[in-house]
Structure 1
Amino acid sequence: MSTKGVSYEMSLNLGTNFLALVLNILLGLVVVPFYIAKIGVDGYGIIALATSFSSYLSIITIAIDAAVGRNFTLAMRKDDHASSNAIYSSSIISATLLIVAILPLIGWFLYKIDSIISYRGYAVGEMRWVFIAIITSFVLTFIRGLFLVPAFASNKIYIQRIIAILEIVVRTALIFLLLNTSAKLSLIGVSFFLASLVSFAAALIWIIRKFPFLKLRMASFDKKIVRYVASMSFWLVINQIGTLLFINIDIILLNHYYGATATGEFSTVAQWHTLLRSFAGVFVAIFTPVVYKYYADKDFSNLLKFSKYSVVAMGLVLAIPIGIIVAYSDVILRLWVGEKFTHFYPLMILLTGHLIFNLSVLPILSINSVYNKVKVPGLTSFFCGILNLVLGILVIKYFNWGIYSVAIVSAVLLTVKNLIFSPTYAARILEQKPWFYYPSILRGCGLFVWVLLLSWGCRKFMLPGSWGGLMVSAIIIGIGSVPFAWFVSLNKDQRSLIGKLIRRQI
Structure 2
Amino acid sequence: MNRAFLYNASANLITFVLMMLMSVCLTPYIVHTLGVEAFGLIHLTQNMINYLSVITASLSAVVVRFFSVAAHKGEMEKAQRYLASYFVSSFLLSISLFLLCLFVSHQLVEWLHVPVHLAKDTQTAFILGGLLFMLNFVMSGIGAAPFYANKLYVSSIGQAIQMFLRALMIVILFTWTTPAIWHIPLAAVIGSLAAMGIGIYYFKKLIPWFSFKWRHVSLSSSLTLVRSGVWHSFEQMGILLFLQIDLLMTNLLIGAEATGQYAAILQFPLLLRTLAGTLAVVFAPTITKFYSNQDKEGLIQYAANAIKWSGLFVAFPAALLGGLAGPLMLLWLGPAFEELKWLLMIHAAYLCLTLMFLPLTYVPTVFNRLKVPAVVTLILGVSNVLFAYGLTHLLQLGLYGIASAGAMVLLIKNIVFLPFYTARITNQKRTIFYKHTLVPLAGGLFIWGICAGIQAVYNVTSWWELFCIGGLCFILYMGYLYLFAGTKRERMQLMRKVKHAVSR
- The TM-score bracket by the shorter chain reads over 0.9
Q: Are the structure 2 counterparts of residues 204 and 488 from structure 1 closer, same or farther at C-alpha, using a change threshold of 3 Å?
A: closer
Alignment of 1:21-420 (within 5 A): 21-120=16-115, 122-181=117-176, 182-420=178-416
| Greater mean deviation of Cα atoms: 180-189 or 416-425 | 180-189
Query: 1:239·1:381 contact (CA, 8 Å) conserved in 2?
Result: yes
Deviates more, 1:411-420 or 1:244-253: 411-420
How far is the alpha carbon of 1:400 from its aligned partner?
A: 1.4
Looking at structure 1, the residues matched to 23 and 183 of structure 2 have their Cα atoms a distance apart, in angstroms, of 18
Do the aligned partners of 1:63 and 1:240 also contact (CA within 8 Å) in 2? no
Give the superposition deviation at 1:430. 1.6
| Unaligned segments of structure 1, at least 5 residues | none
Q: 1:498 to 1:97 in 2, by over 3 A?
A: farther
RMSD in angstroms over aligned alpha carbons? 2.0
Q: Secondary structure at the match of 2:134?
A: helix
Q: 2:427 aligns with which of 402, 423, 431?
A: 431
Cα deviations by residue, 1:420-479 (Å, 9 ceiling, x for unpaired) = 111111111221100011111232212222222222222234332222211111121222
CA spacing shift, 1:500–1:98, aligned 2, 3 Å: farther
Contact 1:50 1:135 in 2 (8 A): no
TM-score (norm 2): 0.94
1:334-375 Cα deviation digits (max 9, x unpaired): 111111110100111112210012101101111110111111
Write the distance in 1 (CA, Å) between the matches of 2:496 and 2:436.
20
Counterpart in the other structure of 2:14: 19
Shift of residue 417, structure 1, vs aligned partner: 2.0
Listed as ranges, the gaps of 5+ residues in structure 2 are none
Q: CA shift at 1:267, angstroms? A: 0.6
Report the Cα distance in structure 1 between the residues aligned to 2:36 and 2:357, rounded to whole angstroms: 34
Deviation per residue, 1:241-299 (Å, 9 max, x gap):
11111111010001111121100000101111001111112211211111112212223
| Closer/same/farther in 2, CA of residues 497 and 247 from structure 1, 3 Å limit | farther
Question: What's the CA shift for 1:114?
Answer: 1.0
CA distance in 2, matches of 1:288, 1:84: 18
> Aligned partner of 2:347: which letter?
L
Count of paired positions:
501
Residues 477 and 205 of structure 1, relative CA distance in 2, 3 Å threshold: closer
Q: Is the 8 A contact 2:241 2:384 kept in 1?
A: yes
Question: Secondary structure of 1:79's partner?
Answer: coil
Matched to 2:263, the amino acid is: S
Q: How does 1:492-503 map to 2 (within 5 A)?
A: none
Amino acid at match of 1:75: A
Query: What percentage of aligned pairs have identical amino acids?
Result: 23
Structure 1 residues 505 and 54 mapped into 2: Cα distance closer, same or farther (>3 Å)?
Answer: farther
Q: Quickly say closer, same or farther: Cα 1:439–1:501, change in 2 above 3 A.
A: farther
Kept after mapping to 1: 8 A contact 2:149/2:206: no
8 Å CA contact retained: 1:443, 1:490: no
Code of the residue aligned with 1:234 in structure 2: it is: V
Q: TM-score, normalised by structure 1?
A: 0.94
2:102 and 2:127 in contact (8 A); partners too: no
Contact 2:58 2:227 in 1 (8 A): no
String of CA shifts for 1:461-502, please: whole Å, max 9, x gaps. Answer: 433222221111112122223343343454557657766876
Q: Deviations over 1:123-169 (max 9, x none)?
A: 43321111111121121122112123111111111111111111111
